[in-house]
Amino acid sequence: MAERLQIAKRCCNPYKLGNHSYKSKGLRKLTTQIRDKIPSFAADAKICGPCRKKSCVVLEKVNSNISDGCSQPVSYNIGTYVYVKKYFEKDTHTHSTIYLYNIPRLWTLITKHRANHKKKLACDIEDHQAAVQVLEQIKEKYKKTTSASEKIILLTLAPKTWGRKKLACEFNASERQAKKAIQLVKENGILTSPLPKKGRILSPDVEKLILDFYNDDDNSRM
């Protein structure tokens, strides 16, 4: 009986805080909501100010770094606060709060967030596989192509992040071709055809000489 009275005169320390046995000021009885969720507390148990503050969890947004391996349901016990605190962070602007008796709603938000994350991850994997498949088709086309200009055009379809050596290695091409393809992409974008080399321009004197040759009557009768 004496021990029970002694317990009623100090905080029941529901969160197992250290150096807590002396907490005897500002004690209040447990609210109905907390007793309902933590039935193991004695009916006359009391908590101090710090523990009352810990009886609510500040929530504004779900932490984006929720571990995918966390799939345990939230249980209503003394460890509930500690468990939830791992996955929610305080918003210093709104100071929004949610109490322990709303924990089911928190778990719903966590589950929804994890489901959306898995769905996005599946889409990313599918997109990556499609991109790899397209790249393999381009490589296969490159192998079968004999035209040098067409080969360079196909090389322009490679990822922009690839350097000259990477591009040459992936397509089994020469570094000269890879360099030309990268240059074309920078200047005109993908699917750009390499321009043929321009021939030498005839000087005006040579042009006049040719015209005089064909206009000469003696040469025209030949």
Q: How far apart, in whole angstroms, are the C-alpha atoms of residue 84 and residue 107? A: 9
Angle subtended at Cα 102 by Cα 11 and Cα 27, rounded to the nearest 5 degrees? 15
Question: In this predicted model, what pLDDT tens digit does every residue of 138-183 receive, in sequence order?
Answer: 999 999 999 999 999 999 999 999 999 999 999 999 999 999 999 9
Q: Which of 103, 51, 62, 50 is nearest to 86 (CA)?
A: 62
Q: Reply yes or no on whether the pLDDT at 128 is more than 80.
A: yes
Q: How far apart, in whole angstroms, are the C-alpha atoms of residue 157 and residue 145? A: 15
pLDDT of residue 11: 79
- The answer, as to whether pTM is greater than 0.85, is no
pLDDT of residue 23: 61
Residue whose structure tokens are 């089911």: 104
- Find the helix or strand (DSSP H, E) in which 132 lies: helix 103-144
- The average confidence (pLDDT) of the chain is 71
Q: How confident is residue 1, by pLDDT bands cut at 50, 70 and 90?
A: very low
Q: Which domains does the chain have, with CATH numbers?
A: 1-54 (no CATH), 56-133 (no CATH), 145-197 (1.10.10)
